[in-house]
């Protein structure tokens, strides 16, 4: 391989669907990309767990392959990003205390429901800017205390995914500030007593016993540690090489997509769908998560995580087109060309995209609605169904951005990333549904690029990460909205709002269960 522009960062991204590694050069170009599926333990949803050693072994193998291709002399540092939330436990020997719970694990829903009834979620959000969900570490720890106390008895440290990989690379135990703050309290709001928000959150949630398990939070711009001799030997790299851990992939993808201006948003179409924008105010009552900008404590990323992601397209593609081998991997140009021939509105079909079994990325509407189609008739074919799924995802995104409209100035553009970001059809429908310009960038791996940018900043090569992102991230294709179609999707979105409001009358413990006479909108088929 030719000599790369320096600095060159060896990066790894531990995602929900796959683990990726590559070299990111100083010009933002990605080299020697490698990927493997994320190894899950066998379990039935809503359980989603992984063997921590298997995750590390997969990441190590990919990093080793990248180093072998580019050569050890081309690498200036290592940077790690990973999926957010979840619970990764170490014992007193620095070994996994049990399987890690990922954000997808929804078994703590009973804990969350209880906390919601008791008004604890709003109290926590005052310090974190984020209401707990079943994906949150606090909720999962409370569930473990009730359901698997034997695992917690072995635990001595509570980490997040990027911290586990950072520890495996360096032997240093710490927790990334980004994941820590939206879970336990923002340090920028703490004043002189950095422990005050943490102590208060743990008191509100009856989790004071967690305090000794939490490592000191570290900025993602701070070197986590030097590469250990053992890890260096396994990778073919010198010991002591700087290693950066975090932030988690939502924040790195926003930076890596170049969505750094207040009027820019970023939609990550992965296993989940994440819709986000920047804000200059700490607003605890706003929806979704609040994450501090890694270089500016006066700016926050406000994002809403939803289940309306690629799981939906993968599931229905498999159900509807299982016998067609050309539809196994995105992009699906032939299939999408046929689906695009179906007019907007899918001939009356409406799709609710709440497919996840655990509900941790679904709207809470007084009872889990699940995924489903409304308006089915015998004239619909499989292209109609898939068109409705695409539209359901885009309409959910548009509804989310309307909820985020109070977070800052009017939006003009959405940058798309993740596997679904490569779909021309999804990007175009998103533009119509939101009424905003949608841009796909030339870089396919926004998470890897974003975490490399942070490492370059931490090393001192980059002064301002926002300016650097705006410079190196180049648009590849722009999708413009059509006003007529935007109006059609606004009308469909209104129907979805009414449908969800009707479903809010239902819950498993409601006195009105089964009382269809009280529902003012059509029932769901």
Same domain, 189 and 322: no
Nearest to 88 by CA among 47, 39, 53: 53
Same domain, 211 and 358: no
Pick the last residue of a domain from 199, 231, 246. Answer: 246
Average pLDDT, the chain: 91
Pick the last residue of a domain from 193, 227, 246. Answer: 246
Same domain, 179 and 87: yes
pLDDT on residue 84 = 95
| pLDDT band (50, 70, 90) for residue 407 | low
What pLDDT, in 10s, does the model give residues 13-28?
A: 999 999 999 999 999 9
What is the residue-wise DSSP string for 270-308?
Answer: SSSEEEEEEESS--TTSSSEEEE-SS-TT-EEEEEEES-
pLDDT on residue 469 = 96
What CATH number is associated with residue 384? 3.30.420.40
Same domain, 43 and 173: yes
> CA dist 5 to 76, 176, 470, Å?
11, 28, 18
Strands 88-90 and 217-218: unpaired
Q: Looking at residues 393-397, what average pLDDT do you find?
A: 96
Of the listed ranges 308-317, 331-340, 465-474, 510-519, the one predicted with least confidence = 510-519
> Taking 90 as the threshold, does the pLDDT of residue 87 lie above it?
yes
Quote the domain boundaries for residue 499. 310-399+487-507
Separation between Cα atoms, residue 54 and residue 60, nearest integer Å: 10
Same domain, 26 and 171: yes
DSSP-based helix, strand, coil % in the chain, nearest 5 = 40, 20, 40
Of the listed ranges 76-80, 186-190, 216-220, 229-233, the one predicted with least confidence = 186-190
What pLDDT, in 10s, does the model give residues 26-42?
A: 999 999 999 999 999 99
Same domain, 97 and 226: yes
Residue with tokens 């809470």: 364
- Asked whether residue 55 is assigned to any structural domain, the reply reads yes
> Taking 90 as the threshold, does the pLDDT of residue 190 lie above it?
no
pLDDT on residue 33 = 97
Higher pLDDT, 309 or 203: 203
Q: Looking at residues 188-215, what average pLDDT do you find?
A: 91
Of the listed ranges 180-189, 252-261, 354-363, 382-391, the one predicted with least confidence = 354-363
pLDDT on residue 266 = 97
Same domain, 347 and 208: no
> Taking 50 as the threshold, does the pLDDT of residue 514 lie above it?
no
Give per-residue burial for 465-503: e unless 16+ CB within 10 Å, then b.
Answer: bbebbeebbeeeeebebeeebbebbbebbeebeebbebb
pLDDT on residue 512 = 41
| pLDDT band (50, 70, 90) for residue 517 | very low
Q: Using H for helix, E for strand and C for coil, what is the string for 32-67?
A: EEEEEECCCCCCCCCCCEECHHHHHHHHHHHHHHHH
Residue pair 155/90 in contact (Cβ under 8 Å)? The answer is yes
Same domain, 225 and 316: no
Separation between Cα atoms, residue 356 and residue 353, nearest integer Å: 9
Q: What's the number of domains the chain is made of?
A: 2
- Asked whether residue 463 is assigned to any structural domain, the reply reads no
SS3 81: strand
pLDDT on residue 518 = 33
Separation between Cα atoms, residue 16 and residue 8, nearest integer Å: 26
pLDDT on residue 273 = 93
Same domain, 67 and 140: yes
Which stretches does DSSP call E strand in 347-500?
Answer: 350-353, 371-374, 413-417, 437-441, 475-479
Strands 371-374 and 100-101: unpaired
- Asked whether residue 496 is assigned to any structural domain, the reply reads yes
Same domain, 134 and 54: yes
- Asked whether residue 177 is assigned to any structural domain, the reply reads yes
> Taking 60 as the threshold, does the pLDDT of residue 283 lie above it?
yes
> Taking 90 as the threshold, does the pLDDT of residue 358 lie above it?
no
Same domain, 227 and 369: no
- Looking at the DSSP assignment, which residues form a beta bridge with residue 10? 23, 78
- Asked whether residue 221 is assigned to any structural domain, the reply reads yes
Higher pLDDT, 89 or 370: 89
Of the listed ranges 254-258, 383-387, 516-520, the one predicted with least confidence = 516-520
What pLDDT, in 10s, does the model give residues 111-162?
A: 999 999 999 999 999 999 999 999 999 999 999 999 999 999 999 999 999 9
Same domain, 234 and 329: no
- Asked whether residue 255 is assigned to any structural domain, the reply reads no
- Asked whether residue 214 is assigned to any structural domain, the reply reads yes
| pLDDT band (50, 70, 90) for residue 365 | low
Separation between Cα atoms, residue 395 and residue 376, nearest integer Å: 18
> CA dist 429 to 2, 132, 349, 437, 456, Å?
40, 31, 15, 11, 36
> CA dist 44 to 15, 40, 369, 513, 521, Å?
20, 11, 20, 27, 34
> CA dist 135 to 84, 305, 307, 359, Å?
9, 10, 12, 10
Q: What is the percent of the chain with per-residue pLDDT over 90, rounded to a whole number?
A: 78
Q: What is the percent of the chain with per-residue pLDDT over 70, rounded to a whole number?
A: 91
Nearest to 434 by CA among 406, 396, 385, 475: 396
- Asked whether residue 152 is assigned to any structural domain, the reply reads yes
> Taking 90 as the threshold, does the pLDDT of residue 355 lie above it?
no
Pick the last residue of a domain from 246, 262, 289. Answer: 246
Which stretches does DSSP call E strand in 188-245?
Answer: 217-218, 225-226, 242-245
> CA dist 362 to 39, 93, 133, 236, Å?
24, 38, 10, 44
SS3 175: strand
Higher pLDDT, 188 or 127: 127
């Amino acid at each position: 391989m030719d000599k790369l522009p320096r600095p060159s960062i060896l990066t790894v991204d531990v995602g929900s669907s796959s683990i990726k590694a590559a070299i990111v050069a100083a010009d933002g170009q990605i080299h020697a990309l490698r990927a493997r599926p994320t190894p899950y333990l066998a379990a039935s949803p809503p359980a989603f767990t992984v063997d921590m050693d298997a995750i590390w072994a997969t990441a190590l193998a990919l990093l080793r392959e990248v180093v072998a291709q580019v050569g050890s002399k081309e690498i200036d540092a290592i940077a790690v990003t990973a999926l957010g939330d979840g619970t990764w436990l170490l014992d007193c020997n620095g070994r996994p205390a049990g399987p890690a719970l990922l954000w997808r694990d929804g078994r703590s829903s009973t804990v969350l429901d209880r906390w919601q009834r008791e008004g604890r979620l709003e109290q926590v959000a005052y310090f974190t800017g984020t209401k707990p969900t079943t994906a949150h570490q606090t909720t999962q720890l409370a569930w473990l205390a009730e359901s698997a106390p034997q695992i917690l008895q072995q635990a001595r440290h509570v980490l997040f995914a990027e911290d586990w990989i950072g520890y495996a690379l360096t032997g240093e135990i710490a927790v990334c500030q980004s994941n820590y703050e939206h879970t336990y309290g923002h340090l920028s709001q703490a004043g002189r007593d950095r422990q005050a928000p943490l102590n208060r959150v743990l008191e509100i949630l009856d989790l004071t016993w967690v305090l000794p398990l939490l490592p000191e939070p570290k900025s993602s711009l701070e070197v986590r540690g030097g590469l250990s001799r053992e890890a260096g030997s396994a990778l073919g790299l010198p010991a002591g090489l700087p290693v950066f851990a975090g932030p988690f992939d939502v924040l790195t993808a926003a930076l890596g997509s170049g969505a750094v201006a207040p009027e820019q948003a970023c939609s990550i179409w992965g296993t989940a769908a994440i819709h986000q924008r920047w804000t200059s105010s700490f607003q605890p009552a706003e929806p979704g998560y609040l994450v501090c900008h890694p270089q500016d404590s006066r700016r926050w990323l406000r994002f809403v995580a939803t289940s309306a992601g690629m799981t939906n397209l993968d599931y229905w593609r498999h159900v509807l087109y299982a016998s067609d081998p050309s539809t196994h991997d995105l992009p699906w140009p032939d299939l999408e060309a046929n689906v695009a021939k179906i007019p907007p509105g899918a001939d009356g079909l409406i799709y609710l995209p709440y497919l996840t079994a655990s509900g941790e990325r679904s709207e809470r509407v007084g009872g889990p609605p699940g995924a489903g189609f409304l308006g089915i008739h015998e004239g619909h074919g499989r292209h109609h169904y898939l068109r409705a799924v695409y539209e359901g995802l885009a309409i959910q995104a548009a509804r989310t951005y309307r909820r985020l409209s109070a977070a800052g100035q009017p939006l003009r553009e959405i940058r798309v990333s993740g596997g679904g970001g490569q779909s021309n059809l999804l990007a175009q429908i998103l533009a119509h549904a939101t009424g905003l310009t949608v841009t796909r960038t030339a870089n396919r791996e926004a998470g890897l690029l974003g975490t490399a940018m942070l490492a370059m900043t931490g090393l001192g090569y980059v002064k301002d990460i926002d300016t650097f992102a705006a410079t190196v991230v180049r648009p590849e294709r722009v999708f413009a909205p059509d006003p007529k179609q935007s109006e059609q999707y606004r009308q469909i979105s209104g129907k979805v709002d009414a449908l969800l409001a009707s479903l809010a009358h239902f819950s498993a413990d409601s006195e009105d269960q089964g009382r269809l006479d009280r529902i003012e909108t059509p029932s769901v088929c």
